[in-house]
Structure 1
Amino acid sequence: MDDIFVARLMTSDPVTISADTLVEDAGQTMLENGIGSLIVVDDDGHLEGILTTTDFVTIVAESFPKAQTTVSRYMSTEVETASPQQPILEVADAMLEHGFHHMPVTDKDDSVVGIISTTDLAGYLSKI
């Protein structure tokens, strides 16, 4: 498994949103696409953050009027990333160490090119 790289397992063209997306719209996007996270990017496709289903727990727990609340209030901005050519074992170790379920994949310019998830890892492992 040392020769398996992130590029082989990642989801290419992940669903992305901007930081000014309304929380309600972000939630609907996640439901419609059956996904557990949205990568937040700027107008040039560069990573700004990530919004996950775990972040929605905070939104609900705070129980405030949710109208007109944007993703920027809840997204994580300190985001660990992987590169497409990074060994998958290295990425799996980092995800396990930090308790991540999703990790954006970025190129050398910090543009998002994919996302790798624990579901991707489990799917791969079930086939070997």
Structure 2
Amino acid sequence: MTDTLVKDAMSTPMLTLDAEATVNEASRGMLEAGIKSLVVVGEACRPEGIFTSTDVLEVAADGRPTDEATIGEYMTTPVQTVDPGASLSAVGRRMVEEEVGHLPVTDADGNGVGILTMTDLTEALSGAEVPAEST
């Protein structure tokens, strides 16, 4: 585990949308991809936030129409990111300590190249392959 790097466990490609996309668009995209989160990106694919299935529940609780509410209104910011060359064990500790379930993986220029989820981390720890719809 200590030699495993984020790039060996991250999911690619990651689903991305801009902050003006509607919650309806985001929900459909996550459902079709079988995932529970997407990365909200700005210029040059730089992560600006995370939007998750939990955020969809918040929209519903607010009584907002999903075709009017934008993901920018509900995304988690500021977004925390991780380097693809980081140690998976160190990043795993960070995710647990900071209660973060999804970390966009960024290159040296700050552009998103993948995402590391708790499911990815669990899969890497167990050595088992988890179906994509579990992430």
**TM-score, structure 1 normalization:** 0.93
| SS of equivalent residue, structure 1 residue 12 | coil
Distance 1:89 1:68 in 2: 40
Distance 2:16 2:93 in 1: 25
What does residue 12 of structure 1 align with? 12
Q: How many residue pairs align between the two structures?
A: 128
Does 2:102 correspond to 1:113? no
Kept in 1: contact 2:25–2:67 (CA 8 A): no
**Identity across the alignment (%):** 38
CA deviation vs aligned residue, 1:68-116 (integer Å, no higher than 9, x gap): 2211100112111110000001110111012222111011211001101
Q: Which runs of 5+ in 2 are unaligned?
A: 129-135
Cα RMSD, aligned residues only: 1.4
Distance 1:81 1:110 in 2: 9
Distance 1:67 1:127 in 2: 40
**TM-score, structure 2 normalization:** 0.88
Distance 1:28 1:125 in 2: 30
Q: Which runs of 5+ in 1 are unaligned?
A: none
What does residue 41 of structure 1 align with? 41
| SS of equivalent residue, structure 1 residue 44 | helix
Deviant stretches of 4+, over 3 Å: none
Distance 1:38 1:66 in 2: 16
What does residue 84 of structure 1 align with? 84
Does 2:55 correspond to 1:55? yes
